[in-house]
Structure 1
Amino acid sequence: MRANTDDFRRLFLQSVPMMDVRAPVEFSKGAFPGVVNQPLMIDTERQQVGTCYKHSGQDAAIALGHKLVHGEIKEQRIAAWSAFAAANPEGYLYCFRGGLRSQLVQQWLAEAGIEYPRVVGGYKAMRRFLIDSLEKAVHDLPLNIVAGLTGTGKTEVIAALGNSLDLEGHAHHRGSSFGRHATPQPNQVDFENALAIEALDATEKGFADLVLEDEGRMVGSCTVPLELFRLMQQAPLIWLEDSFVNRVTRILGDYVVDMHAEFSALHPENPETAFDLFAEHLTGGLLRIRKRLGGEKQQALLACMEYALAEQRRSGDVDAHRDWIAGLLTDYYDPMYAYQRSGKDERVVFSGEQQAVVEYLEERSRR
């Protein structure tokens, strides 16, 4: 049998397959990318065992656990664990602390003829490792922040670099009033775990710095870790530039073409439902900025948006959306960014279009 492991760095950097045997409710509150949940106990069983432990102690709780998970239920779960082990012979299993539950799963697998290792310390130890790794990375490596007007392609710069931390990607949100996707955001713990693994990878590859997109503390419902956010406010800014026409085209692709495709993928059997949800998504984004935009401007942009949506529904042509996007940039995003930049000018160390910015940041990372 391969030995149990506490080499968390290798587990995350090499994306080693892992099976989480905690209850689904625990898994839903925080997990690691790519991990599969195959619980020893489902939520109701875990709750009963927990209540028994409080009132009658550990021995009684263990006895109850064996009573609840026996016979056909036990066989089904062993079969699921065995299938994972067969599909992932290089993997590991874990529970919350690497204690009773993961040891019991190991025992039952061994009785079925399968020797499978576990992660020492379990989820709790791995989570602590990632928190510490992220904090160490952002303190050890200088930060560079890519800033610029909406639609200049900051996310594309982040994607082009090997030493970036993709806040919007991990938060599954574009960081604006229209930034939601058709599918939900991750919970806070999952967001932080994914961010920490990316920082660990950049550190391991020997980069001299880290690059992030200029963001507020909140990216949708996800919160940028406090110390990281504090350091971002002090870091040098690299200002990304692009033409107004290119910015409108990029936003058209992100907010209209891609979002319609996302809703269509969720409802392939009902295109009308998909389009209704997509339209609701766009009009809802405009409604969220009504107060800051002003009622009159918001109504004018809404009329443009509704016309564009009607044209798109009728013919599939998205070109009419350019009008409200241009208005949104002119009346809302550009004035807001101009105000924000006025307090950050002294931090700007480079300005340029996308290729120049990528080359500058790549050179900076090699210093």
Structure 2
Amino acid sequence: MRQNTADYRQLFLNDTPMMDMRAPVEYARGAFPHSENLPLLDDQQRQQVGTEYKRNGQQAAIELGWRLATPEVRAQRLVTWRDFVQRHPDGYLYCFRGGLRSRTAQQMLRDEGIDYPLVEGGYKAMRAFLLEQLDRQCAELPLVVIAGHTGSGKTELIHAATRAIDLEGIAHHRGSSFGRTRRPQPAQIDFENRVSVDLLKLAQSAGQVFVEDESRLIGRCFLPPVLQQALKRAPRVLVEEPVEARAQRIVRDYVTDALEDFAGEESGPAPALGDALRRNLSRIQKRLGGLRYRQLDEQLQAANAELASGGSAEAYIPLVCTLLREYYDGTYDYLMQQREGGVLFRGSHAEVLQWLGEQAG
């Protein structure tokens, strides 16, 4: 029989599957990678037990919990729990504090002849561990920021680096007003937990860790202040690409390659993508000014029409060049002025790619 554990480090380093016994509403606020929500109580039952606890104490709450756990409910829970155990014999279960809910579920499984260990301290202790590790790794890891104007191909360079953390990939967002993807963004706590786990894994071996330069927000995911400060003081690698090349890369990523994401839309991929691009442009309307926004929106509509009729994305390039020169470059230059770290290397995308390869060697 495997024992209960409080070795949070190994749980996260090994991507250990974990059965989360908390109610769905708790799980939605924040959870861990490789966890599944298989609650002991649903949201309504949790609320009833919580109310009973406040009114009449723990024993009364326990008694109500067992009354709510009818034979039908118990049978349903055990079916899903057995399935998890069969799929993940090396896993663990946990609740919020490693107390009543997880031990009740553990006993219910034991009554069925299944010994399955729990995480001592539960969600609360594991979350505290990851926050402490985030602070530690931001202070100790040799972070190097890959910086450059929008469209420089920084994300491609992050993917090419041997040791790197992809913050935009974790956030499911490309980081600009046009950066929404078809995947929903994670909850803030989920984002922080995943960043902490990835940094913890990188800390197990020596070497620089490359990270893309980001502002405090990636979509709606907020970079923890400790990470913001680490990026601010870290040394930088500057990617220097001309506007035209950056515009071509952006059109490839946000238009040509993005069309397949809209393949199932009733209106067709090109019209659906065009509508999404117009919504994204409207998000920076105030910063562009009314007249300039209307001009660019007309230009965008013309490019959308050309894409829908002939499949060509060329008309987007001058529009993107204008947005880069008049909006994004100035915003990024301001961000760069806040950085404190020195410059390790600067060059074109190809030159930085070669430099990264030399660092890995």
TM-score in terms of structure 1 length: 0.91
Matched, 1:354 2:353: no
Supply the AA of the counterpart residue of 1:82. R
**Secondary structure of 1:350's match?**
strand
Query: Is the 2:270–2:307 Cα contact (8 Å) retained in structure 1?
Result: no
Query: Is the 2:233–2:339 Cα contact (8 Å) retained in structure 1?
Result: no
Aligned-residue RMSD, C-alpha? 2.2
Structure 2 segments unaligned to the other structure (5+ residues):
none
Matched, 1:256 2:251: no
Equivalent residue number for residue 107 of structure 1 = 107
1:70-89 per-residue CA deviation (whole Å, 9 max, x = no partner) reads 21111011010001101111
Equivalent residue number for residue 116 of structure 1 = 116
CA distance in 2, matches of 1:315, 1:286: 23
CA distance in 2, matches of 1:281, 1:62: 50
CA distance in 2, matches of 1:356, 1:327: 26
Post-superposition offset of 1:365: 7.4
CA distance in 1, matches of 2:126, 2:177: 34
Matched, 1:15 2:15: yes
Supply the AA of the counterpart residue of 1:176. S
Matches within 5 A, 1:320-339: 320-339=315-334
Post-superposition offset of 1:58: 0.8
Supply the AA of the counterpart residue of 2:195. L
**Secondary structure of 2:345's match?**
strand
CA distance in 2, matches of 1:72, 1:293: 60
Structure 1 segments unaligned to the other structure (5+ residues):
none
1:167-216 per-residue CA deviation (whole Å, 9 max, x = no partner) reads 21112111111111223211110010010011001101x13333221111
CA distance in 1, matches of 2:269, 2:65: 45
Equivalent residue number for residue 167 of structure 1 = 167
Equivalent residue number for residue 187 of structure 1 = 187
Query: For 1:313, which of 298, 308, 315 is the aligned residue?
Result: 308
Equivalent residue number for residue 82 of structure 2 = 82
Query: Is the 1:209–1:365 Cα contact (8 Å) retained in structure 2?
Result: no
Query: Is the 1:182–1:259 Cα contact (8 Å) retained in structure 2?
Result: no
**Secondary structure of 1:116's match?**
coil
Equivalent residue number for residue 153 of structure 2 = 153
Equivalent residue number for residue 230 of structure 2 = 231
Equivalent residue number for residue 290 of structure 1 = 285
Query: Is the 1:162–1:202 Cα contact (8 Å) retained in structure 2?
Result: no
CA distance in 2, matches of 1:344, 1:48: 51
Post-superposition offset of 1:314: 2.7
Post-superposition offset of 1:341: 4.3
Aligned length: 361
**Secondary structure of 1:110's match?**
helix
Query: Is the 1:5–1:119 Cα contact (8 Å) retained in structure 2?
Result: yes
**Secondary structure of 1:186's match?**
coil
Supply the AA of the counterpart residue of 2:89. P
Post-superposition offset of 1:66: 0.9
Supply the AA of the counterpart residue of 2:352. V
Matched, 1:207 2:206: yes
Distance 1:360 1:71, change over 3 A: same
CA distance in 1, matches of 2:337, 2:227: 23
Supply the AA of the counterpart residue of 1:142. P
1:68-113 per-residue CA deviation (whole Å, 9 max, x = no partner) reads 1121111011010001101111111111111111111111111112
Equivalent residue number for residue 274 of structure 2 = 279
Supply the AA of the counterpart residue of 1:327. T
Query: Is the 1:13–1:201 Cα contact (8 Å) retained in structure 2?
Result: yes
1:229-251 per-residue CA deviation (whole Å, 9 max, x = no partner) reads 12221222210123433322221
TM-score in terms of structure 2 length: 0.93
**Secondary structure of 2:151's match?**
coil
**Secondary structure of 1:19's match?**
strand
